Amino acid sequence: MQSGLGKSKSWVLEFVSKKSGVNPLMGWESSTHTLSEVKLEFTNKENAIKYAKKNKLDFEVIEPKIKKVNKKSYSDNFIK
């Protein structure tokens, strides 16, 4: 299985849902807070922080984990 790196270069601002519950009709998780559906993407961390400060939003920066890539060739499957 391969994990792609598509759309991993942008910073995302997500709003935390204050109150969620189960919809009694369908049984799905739902929220009355419509901002929980909004995700804003920024090209860099500084723009995301500037936007949050400008709009007086409480925010938390979560740095991405650095992924170690082990490059292998197809023949490595048969050598060991």
| 28-66 per-position pLDDT tens digit | 877 777 777 788 899 999 999 999 999 998 889 988 888
Domain count, the chain: 1
Q: Rounded to an integer, what distance in angstroms lies between the CA atom of residue 80 and that of residue 70?
A: 16
Q: What is the dihedral of CA 37, 35, 13, 2, to 10 degrees?
A: -10
For residue 55, the enclosing domain spans 9-15+28-65
Does some domain include residue 74? no
Does some domain include residue 54? yes
Say what the pTM is.
Answer: 0.60
More confident residue, 52 or 76: 52
Does some domain include residue 35? yes
Does some domain include residue 33? yes
Beta bridge partner(s), residue 3: none
Spatial CA neighbour of 51 closest among 18, 2, 13: 13
Does some domain include residue 73? no
Q: Rounded to an integer, what distance in angstroms lies between the CA atom of residue 30 and that of residue 27?
A: 9
Does some domain include residue 37? yes
